[in-house]
Each structure stands twice: as structure tokens, then as C-alpha cells.
Structure 1
Amino acid sequence: MSQAIFHWLAFAAIVVLSACTSPTMTSQRQGEPAPATQPQQVTLDENSQIATGQTLYIPVYPYIYYEDQRRIFNLATTLSIRNTDLADSIIITCVRYYNSEGQLIRQYLERPIQLAALASTDFFISTSDNSGGLGANFIVDWVAQTNVSEPIIETVAIGTGFQQGISFISPGKVIQNQTNYTCSLS
């Protein structure tokens, strides 16, 4: 009799446990990226205290040449901005995209955005967008109201086709230190 009760309890436990699901798995299918949260917009003015900041130049490669520079291989590009500070936020004041001739193609922010400690954000250029040419670039301005560790700002280029794939990163280069909230080169 006790063996029958044991089997019945084991069966009931299996049924109960198999009915349990993880909340993250029910709200999102496995293998799909988590929905991105939008950084908070902030307002800065002349009275805002700025402790540190920088302007960075980040190369963008919308395509690369192959076969003796006669053909192009289109690439998608993601600009990644990562706050590396463990405790404090940074403020991204401007993200601008320029073409090979140095002409502004697109400005991505209407207002500055705040990235919390260890938060990140990104901006995307599709494979079909060759408007920047081979010398395209991003100019990114960031500031912080306290001394923080410098963010990592880089582009990631990726392309696939013809049973080939290529990907690489291009790190940002500091071209100016910031002591105010305005966009450089505006």
C-alpha cells in the first residue's frame, strides 16, 4: 500500500513540475533578442555641472572592396556605446553620421540621453545604406557630471553573402575633450 502511495505522489509531482514555466521563456521565444529599452532623455543647460566628457570619431565601413576594387561587399554597421562606469551615468549629447566628404548625413538624437551605470545603447545602419561612402564616420559626444571611467564606443560591421561572411570592429578615437554640454562641430 505504501508503494502505491509513493507512485501516486511521484506522478503528481511530475505533473505539477512539468506545468511550471519560466516567465522569461513565456514572454520571449528562445533565441530571440530581448527587447531593447530606450535610454532616458535628459535636459542640459549652461548651468549643468560637467566634470568630464569627450568627442569621438568612429570609422564606419558601409562596404568594402573585393576583386581588385571592382566589386563591393555591403556591410551592416552597429554603433555601440557602452557605459563602463560601475556607479555613475553618462550623458550622450550628440550622435552624428557623416559621409566621405565630411557632410552631415544624419543626426540621431533630438535631445541628450542618459546611460545608467553599465548600460549601453546602439544605432544601426543597414546593409543597403551606402550613403556615407567608404570614408563614413560617426561623431559622438558624451559628458558626465562626475568623473567616470571612459565608455567604450565602437562600430561593429558585418556582412554575409556569396557563402562568405565578414565582421570586424572599429574603435572610436578621442578627438576632443568636452567641458560643456553642446555638440561639437554642430
Structure 2
Amino acid sequence: MKKIIVLVFAFYSFYSCDHVSNDEEYEKINWKERIATRKASDSLEVGKSYLSVYSQIYSYSQHKTYNLTAMVSMRNTSATDSLYLFKVDYYDTHGELLKTYFDQPVFVRPMETLDIVINEVDIAGGTGGNFIFDWKTPIGASEPVFEGVMTSTSGQQGLSFVTQAKRLD
């Protein structure tokens, strides 16, 4: 009996090491360190892009859903100029604003990529979540690329797919 109790305790200890709290939100990007300072005289091209992301997809029927991790990738494709993000908003399936990521414009260095991760347990976005990006680049600079990568693994099965943003203006 003593061996069983020790075995159960050891198993529980190993399991608890890998467990991540559902309430824990890890913010990978320190947005405050990225606040952009630009002169009013700088000429910038204005852009707005829409990206669909999926916290859940339907499986078997419309009554069964499968949770996904969503990674939103914001890529500056210019080798010489910074990208400026003025607003990044995350909406759910019903069009309700879930989160605005920062209050002041931020920069993305040349050829840099920033990622926002929506954890698999965070299903607030639902089956029709989306992002709106308000951005600016120096005139003549290449446009940014916004992509979503959705993944999930369970046992020996894995699922992944990519979405690409559409420019709105």
C-alpha cells in the first residue's frame, strides 16, 4: 500500500510540473518598450488589415467544437524601414471587442516579426474571431504581412492551418 501511495504522489508531482493554469495569461511582447516616437512632418502611408483567427473549429457537427492555439504573426517586410502599428484589436465571433493590445503607436523594426499567442484554453474568440490592424509605413516601403497560424495536438494527431490578412483600404 505504501508503494502505491508513493507511486501516486510521484505521478502527481510529475503531472503538476507540466500543468499551466487556465487563468494565466503570458504577454510575450512588452508593448510599453515599443512606443513609437515620430515627427508630425514624417510622411507615412496608412493601412488597415483584417485577419481571421480561430480559437475553435467545428468537429463532427455544429454542436461539437475543437479548441486551437492561435498565433498571430505581424511581420515587417521592409529591410530598411520600421512599421508602425497604431492599433491592434481582437474581436470575437459576434463582433464584440475582446482586447485592444496597446494605447499608443508601437514600432516593428525592419525585418522583425512580433507574435501574439491566443492559448488553446482561451476560447473567447470562438469560431469566427478576428483582428484589425491599423498600421503605417514610410511612403515607398513594402507592406507588412499579417498571418494567423492555428494549431492543436492531441495524442498522436495534429492539426494546423494558416490564414492571411486582407487589406481593407
TM-score by length of 1: 0.69
Q: Tell me the distance in 2 between the aligned counterparts of 1:162 and 1:44.
A: 49
Report if the CA contact (8 A) 1:50-1:143 is conserved. Answer: no
Q: Is the partner of 1:134 in helix, strand or coil?
A: helix
Aligned to 1:41: 35
2:46 equivalent to 1:53: yes
- The residue identity in structure 2 corresponding to 1:146 is I
Aligned to 1:70: 63
Determine which structure has more spread, i.e. the larger CA radius of gyration.
Answer: 1
Q: Tell me the distance in 2 between the aligned counterparts of 1:129 and 1:65.
A: 16
Q: Is the partner of 1:97 in helix, strand or coil?
A: strand
Contiguous gaps of at least 5 residues in structure 2: 1-27
- The residue identity in structure 1 corresponding to 2:34 is Q
Q: Tell me the distance in 2 between the aligned counterparts of 1:132 and 1:66.
A: 17
2:112 equivalent to 1:109: no
Q: Deviations over 1:93-139 (max 9, x none)?
A: 11110011111110011221111110111111110111112111000
**RMSD between superposed Cα atoms in Å:** 1.9
- The residue identity in structure 2 corresponding to 1:96 is D
Q: Tell me the distance in 2 between the aligned counterparts of 1:82 and 1:99.
A: 23
Match of 2:158 among 153, 162, 165: 165
Q: Tell me the distance in 1 between the aligned counterparts of 2:131 and 2:144.
A: 15
TM-score by length of 2: 0.75
Report if the CA contact (8 A) 1:88-1:146 is conserved. Answer: no
Identity of counterpart residues, as a percentage?
Answer: 33
Cα 1:37–1:74 change in 2 (3 A) is closer
2:130 equivalent to 1:133: no
Q: Tell me the distance in 2 between the aligned counterparts of 1:136 and 1:48.
A: 36
Count of residue pairs brought into register by the alignment: 140
Q: Tell me the distance in 1 between the aligned counterparts of 2:141 and 2:156.
A: 44
